[in-house]
Amino acid sequence: MPWNDEWSGLADFLANMIEKYAGEMDLDTLPDPDNYYKLKRIKEMYRKYMQLSALARKAA
């Protein structure tokens, strides 16, 4: 059985569910993922900065 045939049933099912419920889910009102990842990266950089700052204070 070719690989495409193994997944085509699942792909068809997901496509049908998305088509059926897309209007009810109101996908247009979801938050912008770019902003989420920007904020996540900023928080990560701040956490690393604070760790380095703490290490520098201990070394001094």
Region 2-22: mean pLDDT is: 85
Nearest residue to 7 via CA among 17, 15, 22, 18: 15
Report the SS3 class of residue 32. coil
Task: Please give the Cα distance from 50 to 58 (Å, whole number).
Answer: 12
User: pTM of this prediction?
Assistant: 0.48
Dump pLDDT digits (tens) for 23-47: 888 878 888 889 999 999 999 999 9
Residue 48 has pLDDT above 70, yes or no: yes
- Which position has the higher pLDDT, 57 or 2? 57
